[in-house]
């Protein structure tokens, strides 16, 4: 088969389809058209300044460089920028993806521009059916002014404009609203222009048709202004935070990362927030608002701040609504993280009261992140508080006084032993609160000298002193009666000497014993079949132990009771009291036992009273 001569063609673009794609899939809202217009105007002025350094002087005055007028149906934006020749109009405006800002020859200058993709102007078609650009080039004084009028069906016309109609270099873009579209309403335009452009480095006004011009720009950014004193600066930043971010900050951290051309502030949230909540930072790129919901600007652990920054070297995504997640952003993120960490260290060294105030709000979040961030953990550990047998204290301080550090696995376990352990000089940390156990276990990684051990009941019972043999012998028959009584609730009874003297009895059991008690409880309440199954898995785990304190005067008196019935009732009461102190749930057998012992005691006490008729 012979080949035919290839014929050459160019892609056809269905403009409506493309605009539909942009408005539904690239941009979050048609409102971005204001940003694109402002951006082109500012870029054109930048290009003109590069062309003519003298030009700058004209903009040191208060008069607006960029003027937007609108009556709601027609919007015009005028800039005194570099302008366009007829050839450029065809090449740049009528070519999708065509941009003057990617010119490799002016690579150095390119960094100065906001745009780069060559699709920005198309965003205007999401709100307008006709776009007209009238322009005179500053590059070529002899070139005539030109008007490019494009419709949303993809057709456009180009006309030369008489010199008198457009004598000065610069550009006017006019939009005609789509029928029923209210994006060009003056109030809306003022709001959007402020949202995107309030920090832009050229003066901008919006003039509602027949109304007074409204100043849009308010520069330099608050954090770069001169203030009479630090308090005035802080007040201005606080006010800004309340107005724009909606909260009164707990503190303000200055950010300055020259490598990323980034300056700004991080506002510390005044209320607790979940570390997993989506962060929302306000990022300006070359002074134009890129997004107020950036979630990749600060490290994950810095969940307690909301930043407002300006950067001139990070890259936007094509929608220009978020930061492109590249190596440069990673570097900036690390640097921002380092400055937030420095703030924490500085507070720790210079203003512990403020650090305490910060942790009072964000401690749980800091703990959550410190589990996965060894550096943060090391920085914060001296400031994080844990419940321990030496009171609420930091782990490094606690570990200096107690070795090993015992970790109670649950709040109940901790409560059970805290008082006794403290009296015996055993250091226990309550690992029952969210994240605390993990952080205690991380201690030896930071300081290999520190030993952390899981608390077993044996540790406590081994620390209780045995009685001397004579005292032990004297208590034999009492102990036999006591054990017989508590056998029904599966509890053993022993006597030891320990501090504090005020604690008469201590109930010790480990998790296995507790599980066994629950199993036995279920068995007692189950029907025959289920009860049989539960009985078959009965464990011979160590039983719970009621440890009576021989140093306690009441216990001594109880030990001397000759009447086995009364001795049994007294032991039941001691068990009930120890059980309540341990905060463990009462099984039905426990409740019955408590009731019985209480009633028996009441009867004993009142038996000689005669009821009065
Ligand atoms: N006001 C203006 N003055 C002079 N030239 C302009 C103006 N507006 C647009 N242009 C020219 O038209 C080109 C295309 O503009 P468009 O907004 O579509 O893309 P861009 O700004 O280059 O890139 P981006 O898609 O990133 O915004 C620009 O590169 C610029 O050369």
pLDDT higher than 50, residue 61: no
Q: State pLDDT tens for residues 82-136.
A: 999 999 998 888 777 778 777 655 445 557 787 777 788 888 999 999 999 999 9
Q: Are residues 431 and 501 in the same domain?
A: no
Q: How many helices (H) and strands (E) does the chain have?
A: 20, 21
Q: How far is the CA of 294 from the centre of ligand 1 (A)?
A: 25
Q: Are residues 74 and 167 in the same domain?
A: yes
Residue 36 forms part of a structural domain = yes
Write out the two tokens for 287: 């002074």
* Buried residues in 331-357 as b, exposed as e (16+ CB within 10 A): ebbebbbebbbebbeebbeeeeeebeb
The pick from 40, 78, 202, 290 for probing ligand 1's pocket by mutation, whose C-beta has the most ligand atoms within 8 angstroms, reads 40
Q: Which atom of ligand 1 is nearest to the CA of 114?
A: 26
Q: Judge if the beta carbon of residue 174 lies within 6 A of ligand 1.
A: no
CA 543 to CA 92: how far, in whole Å? Answer: 86
Q: Are residues 90 and 71 in the same domain?
A: yes
CA 306 to CA 241: how far, in whole Å? Answer: 9
CA 173 to CA 146: how far, in whole Å? Answer: 12
Q: Judge if the beta carbon of residue 506 lies within 6 A of ligand 1.
A: no
Nearest C-alpha neighbor of 242 from the set 272, 270, 276: 270
3-state secondary structure 154-179: CCEEEEEECHHHCCCCEEEEEEEECC
Phi (first) and psi of residue 39, to 5 degrees: -60, -45
Residue 6 forms part of a structural domain = no
**Ligand-binding site membership of 36 (annotated):** yes
Q: Which atom of ligand 1 is nearest to the CA of 83?
A: 4
| Residue 260 C-beta-side C-alpha neighbours within 13 Å | 27
Distance (Å) of CA 146 to CA 84, 85, 135, 176, 260: 8, 7, 5, 19, 39
In CATH, what number is assigned to the domain containing residue 558?
A: 1.20.120.790
Residue 360 forms part of a structural domain = no
Q: State pLDDT tens for residues 255-305.
A: 999 999 999 999 999 998 877 788 899 999 999 999 999 999 998 888 899
Mean pLDDT of 184-210: 94
pLDDT higher than 90, residue 76: yes
In CATH, what number is assigned to the domain containing residue 39?
A: 3.30.565.10
The domain tally of the chain equals 4
CA 88 to CA 448: how far, in whole Å? Answer: 69
**Ligand-binding site membership of 171 (annotated):** yes
Q: How far is the CA of 101 from the centre of ligand 1 (A)?
A: 8
Q: Which of 419, 446, 461 is the last residue of a domain?
A: 461
Q: Whose CA is nearest to atom 7 of ligand 1?
A: 40
Q: Are residues 395 and 544 in the same domain?
A: no
| 594 membership: H or E segment, kind and range | helix 588-606
Q: Which of 240-244, 338-342, 428-432, 437-441 has the lowest mean pLDDT?
A: 338-342
Q: Which of 62-76, 161-175, 320-334, 578-592 has the lowest mean pLDDT?
A: 578-592
pLDDT higher than 80, residue 539: no
Q: Which atom of ligand 1 is nearest to the CA of 170?
A: 3
Q: Judge if the beta carbon of residue 171 lies within 6 A of ligand 1.
A: yes
Q: Are residues 55 and 182 in the same domain?
A: yes
Q: Which atom of ligand 1 is nearest to the CA of 82?
A: 4
Q: Which residues pair with 282 in a beta bridge?
A: 308
Q: What percent of the chain has pLDDT over 90?
A: 52
Report whether 156 contacts 150 (CB < 8 A): yes
Q: Which of 311, 335, 352 is the last residue of a domain?
A: 352
pLDDT at 1: 55
Mean pLDDT of 156-180: 93
Q: Burial of 541 by CB count in 10 Å (0-12 exposed, 13-18 middle, 19+ buried)? A: middle
Q: Judge if the beta carbon of residue 92 lies within 6 A of ligand 1.
A: yes
Ramachandran area for residue 544 (φ above 0: left; ψ -120 to 50: alpha; else beta): beta
CA 57 to CA 408: how far, in whole Å? Answer: 72
pLDDT at 452: 96
Q: How far is the CA of 1 from the centre of ligand 1 (A)?
A: 48
> Starting at the edge strand that comes first in sequence, how are the strands of the sheet with 251-257 ordered?
251-257, 262-268, 305-311, 281-285, 288-294
Q: Judge if the beta carbon of residue 91 lies within 6 A of ligand 1.
A: no
Residue 365 forms part of a structural domain = no
Residue 210 forms part of a structural domain = yes
Write out the two tokens for 260: 């990323």
Residue 5 forms part of a structural domain = no
Q: How far is the CA of 507 from the centre of ligand 1 (A)?
A: 79
pLDDT higher than 90, residue 588: no
Q: Are residues 526 and 561 in the same domain?
A: yes
In CATH, what number is assigned to the domain containing residue 302?
A: 3.30.230.80
Q: Are residues 198 and 263 in the same domain?
A: no
Q: Are residues 186 and 45 in the same domain?
A: yes
Q: Judge if the beta carbon of residue 290 lies within 6 A of ligand 1.
A: no
Domain span at residue 120 reads: 15-215
CA 421 to CA 184: how far, in whole Å? Answer: 73
Residue 3 forms part of a structural domain = no
Q: Which of 308, 333, 352 is the last residue of a domain?
A: 352
Q: Judge if the beta carbon of residue 542 lies within 6 A of ligand 1.
A: no
pLDDT at 60: 44
Q: Whose CA is nearest to atom 21 of ligand 1?
A: 115
Q: How far is the CA of 115 from the centre of ligand 1 (A)?
A: 7
| 284 membership: H or E segment, kind and range | strand 281-285
Q: State pLDDT tens for residues 306-331.
A: 999 999 989 888 788 889 999 999 99
Residue 195 forms part of a structural domain = yes
Q: Judge if the beta carbon of residue 93 lies within 6 A of ligand 1.
A: yes
pLDDT at 63: 63
CA 504 to CA 562: how far, in whole Å? Answer: 19
Q: Are residues 202 and 239 in the same domain?
A: no
Q: Which atom of ligand 1 is nearest to the CA of 81?
A: 3
Residue 183 CA to its chain's centroid (Å): 34
pLDDT higher than 50, residue 52: yes
Q: Are residues 130 and 47 in the same domain?
A: yes
> Starting at the edge strand that comes first in sequence, how are the strands of the sheet with 170-177 ordered?
156-161, 145-151, 128-136, 170-177, 74-79, 66-70, 204-208, 214-215
CA 512 to CA 526: how far, in whole Å? Answer: 21
Q: Which residues pair with 546 in a beta bridge?
A: 493, 507
Q: Are residues 156 and 299 in the same domain?
A: no
CA 583 to CA 578: how far, in whole Å? Answer: 9
Q: Judge if the beta carbon of residue 80 lies within 6 A of ligand 1.
A: no
Close Cβ partners of 603 (under 8 Å, ≥ 6 residues apart): none
The model's pTM: 0.74
In CATH, what number is assigned to the domain containing residue 436?
A: 3.40.50.11260
Q: Judge if the beta carbon of residue 146 lies within 6 A of ligand 1.
A: no
pLDDT at 68: 96
CA 340 to CA 59: how far, in whole Å? Answer: 37
Beta-strand (E) ranges in 475-526?
491-496, 505-508
Q: Are residues 515 and 389 in the same domain?
A: no
């Amino acid at each position: 088969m012979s080949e035919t001569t290839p014929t050459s063609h160019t892609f056809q673009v269905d403009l409506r389809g493309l605009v539909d794609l942009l408005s539904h899939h690239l941009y979050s809202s048609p409102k971005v058209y204001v940003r694109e217009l402002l951006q082109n105007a500012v870029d054109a002025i930048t290009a003109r300044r590069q062309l003519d350094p003298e030009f700058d002087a004209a903009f040191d005055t208060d008069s607006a460089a960029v003027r937007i007028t609108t009556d709601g149906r027609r919007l015009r934006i005028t800039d005194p920028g570099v302008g366009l020749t007829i050839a450029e109009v065809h090449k740049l405006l009528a070519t999708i993806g065509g941009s003057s800002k990617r010119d490799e020859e002016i690579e150095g200058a390119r960094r100065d521009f906001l745009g780069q993709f060559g699709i920005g102007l198309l965003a205007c078609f999401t709100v307008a059916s006709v776009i007209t650009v009238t322009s005179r080039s500053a590059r070529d004084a002899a070139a005539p002014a030109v008007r490019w009028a494009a419709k949303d069906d993809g057709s456009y016309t180009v006309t030369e404009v008489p010199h008198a109609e457009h004598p000065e270099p610069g550009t006017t873009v006019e939009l005609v609203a789509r029928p029923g579209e209210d994006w060009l309403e003056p109030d809306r335009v003022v709001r959007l222009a402020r949202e995107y452009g309030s920090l832009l480095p050229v003066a901008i006004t919006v003039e509602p048709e027949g109304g007074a011009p409204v100043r849009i720009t308010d520069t330099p950014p608050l954090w770069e202004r001169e203030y009479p004193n630090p308090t005035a600066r802080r007040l201005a930043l606080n006010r800004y935070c309340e107005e724009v971010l909606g909260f009164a900050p707990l503190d303000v951290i200055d950010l300055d990362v020259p490598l990323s051309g980034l300056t700004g502030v991080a506002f510390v949230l005044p209320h607790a927030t979940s570390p997993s909540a989506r962060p929302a930072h306000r990022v300006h790129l070359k002074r134009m608002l890129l997004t107020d919901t950036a979630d990749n600007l600060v490290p994950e652990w810095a969940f307690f701040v909301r930043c407002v920054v300006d950067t001139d070297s990070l890259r936007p995504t094509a929608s220009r609504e978020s930061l492109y997640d590249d190596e440069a952003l990673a570097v900036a993120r690390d640097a921002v993280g380092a400055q937030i960490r420095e703030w924490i260290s500085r507070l720790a060294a210079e203003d512990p009261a403020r650090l305490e105030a910060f942790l009072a709000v964000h401690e749980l979040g800091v703990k959550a992140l410190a589990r996965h961030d060894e550096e943060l953990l090391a920085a914060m550990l001296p400031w994080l508080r844990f419940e321990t047998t030496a009171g609420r204290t930091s782990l490094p301080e606690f570990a200096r006084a107690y070795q090993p550090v015992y970790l109670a696995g649950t709040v109940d376990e901790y409560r059970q032993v805290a008082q006794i352990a403290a009296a015996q000089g055993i250091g226990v940390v309550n690992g029952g609160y969210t994240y605390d156990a993990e952080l205690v276990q991380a201690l030896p990684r930071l300081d290999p000298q520190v030993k952390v051990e899981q608390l077993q009941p044996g540790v406590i019972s081994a620390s209780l002193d045995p009685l001397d043999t004579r005292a032990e012998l004297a208590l034999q028959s009492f102990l036999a009666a006591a054990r017989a009584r508590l056998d029904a609730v599966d509890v053993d009874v022993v006597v030891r000497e320990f501090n504090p003297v005020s604690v008469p009895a201590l109930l010790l059991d480990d998790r296995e014993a507790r599980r066994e008690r629950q199993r036995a409880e279920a068995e007692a309440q189950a029907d025959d079949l289920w009860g049989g199954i539960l009985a078959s898995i009965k464990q011979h785990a160590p039983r719970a132990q009621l440890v009576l304190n021989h140093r306690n005067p009441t216990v001594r008196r109880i030990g001397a009771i000759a009447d086995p019935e009364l001795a049994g009732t007294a032991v039941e009461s001691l068990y009930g009291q120890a059980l309540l102190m341990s905060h463990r749930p009462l099984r039905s057998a426990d409740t019955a036992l408590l009731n019985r012992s209480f009633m028996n005691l009441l009867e004993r006490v009142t038996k000689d009273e005669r009821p009065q008729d």
